[in-house]
C-alpha cells in the first residue's frame, strides 16, 4: 500500500501533468523566457509548478519546497524538491519525452520520489525501504553484469559547455564497450528508466537536485546504485551522476573517471 505522502505527490504530479497536456497543442503561443544560454522556461513550467506547490502545501503546510522555477520557499528540514516539467526543450518542440519530478528529503535523506510521464500515463514511485513501482507494478534495475551489450542514457552539458569535450571523450570510451547510448532530454525519466530496467545505466554532468532527487531514490529502491564520477555513493552534490545496477555503475565509473578532468571528479 502506498504511503500517504506518495499519494499526495502522485496527485500533485497528475495535476501538473494535466496542465502540461492541456497546453501541448498550442505550445507555439506560450510565453517563453531564456533563463540562461540554452536554458528556457515557459509559462507551462510555472503553472505546473504552482499547481504542485498548491497540492503539497494543502497536505503539508509546514514543509519547505525547492522548485526549479521558484527556488526555495519555507524553512524546514522536510523539503519537497520539484521539477514541474523536466524536458522543457522537448515539450516546446513537440518532441514526446518529458516528465514531472517530485522528490522529498527529510534531514537530507531521500524518502519519497515520483516521476510522471503524462503522455504515456506512466507514474514511477518509490518510498525509502518499500521498493520502486511503475503504475503499482514493482520494478528492478537490469541484471547486466558488465558494459557488454549495455544500453546507456546520457545528457549533454548544455549549461556547462566547457565540459563538452570531456563528455564526448566519455561517450566515445563507453561506446567502445557498451552497445549504444541514448540522449532523450529528461534526466528524471532516464533515471526512472534505469530503475525499470529499460536502460542499463545513465550518466550526466551538472544536474540540479530537482533533476535527480526522485530518480535517485527510484534507482536505489529498484536495487540499483548511484554515485558521482569518482565513484562516491549517493546523490552527488556536484550533479555529476552515474546510475545503474552495482556492476554497471562501477564499470561506468571506471571508464568515466579515466576520461574526466579533475573538476568533474570533485565531491
H-only helix segments in the chain: 4-22, 43-59, 88-93, 164-175, 187-195, 209-221, 246-258
Structure confidence by residue, pLDDT tens digits, 15-30: 999 999 998 888 777 7
Q: Which CATH architecture has domain 151-265?
A: 3-Layer(aba) Sandwich (3.40)
* Domain ranges (residues) in the chain: 4-139, 151-265
- pLDDT for 40 beyond 70: no
pLDDT score, position 182? 97
Which residue in this structure is represented by grid cell 579515466? 258
How would you classify the pairing of strands 71-73 and 99-106?
unpaired
Fold of the domain built from segment(s) 4-139: Fructose-1,6-Bisphosphatase; Chain A, domain 1 (3.30.540)
Grid coordinates representing 216 are 535517485
Over range 114-129, report the average pLDDT.
98
Amino acid at each position: 500500500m502506498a504511503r500517504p505522502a506518495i499519494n499526495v505527490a502522485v496527485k500533485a504530479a497528475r495535476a501538473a501533468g494535466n496542465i502540461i497536456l492541456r497546453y501541448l497543442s498550442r505550445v507555439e503561443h506560450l510565453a517563453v523566457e531564456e533563463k540562461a544560454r540554452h536554458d528556457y522556461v515557459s509559462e507551462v513550467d510555472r503553472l505546473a509548478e504552482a499547481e504542485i506547490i498548491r497540492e503539497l502545501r494543502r497536505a503539508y503546510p509546514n514543509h519547505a519546497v525547492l522548485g526549479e522555477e521558484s527556488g526555495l520557499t519555507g524553512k524546514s528540514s522536510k523539503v519537497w524538491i520539484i521539477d514541474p516539467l523536466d524536458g522543457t526543450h522537448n515539450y516546446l518542440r513537440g518532441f514526446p519525452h518529458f516528465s514531472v519530478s517530485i522528490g522529498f528529503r527529510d534531514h537530507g535523506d531521500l524518502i519519497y520520489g515520483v516521476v510522471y510521464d503524462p503522455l504515456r500515463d506512466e507514474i514511477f514511485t518509490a518510498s525509502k525501504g518499500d521498493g520502486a513501482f511503475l503504475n503499482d507494478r514493482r520494478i528492478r534495475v537490469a541484471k547486466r553484469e558488465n558494459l557488454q551489450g549495455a544500453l546507456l542514457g546520457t545528457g549533454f552539458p548544455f549549461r556547462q559547455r566547457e565540459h563538452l569535450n570531456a563528455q564526448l571523450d566519455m561517450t566515445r570510451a563507453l561506446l567502445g564497450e557498451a552497445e549504444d547510448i541514448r540522449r532523450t532530454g529528461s534526466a528524471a525519466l532516464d533515471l526512472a528508466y534505469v530503475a525499470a530496467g529499460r536502460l542499463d545505466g545513465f550518466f550526466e554532468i551538472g544536474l540540479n537536485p530537482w533533476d535527480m532527487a526522485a530518480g535517485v531514490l527510484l534507482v536505489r529502491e529498484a536495487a540499483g546504485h548511484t554515485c558521482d564520477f569518482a565513484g562516491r555513493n549517493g546523490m552527488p552534490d556536484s550533479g555529476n551522476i552515474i546510475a545503474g545496477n552495482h556492476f554497471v555503475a562501477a564499470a561506468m565509473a571506471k571508464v568515466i573517471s579515466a576520461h574526466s578532468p579533475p573538476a568533474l571528479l570533485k565531491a
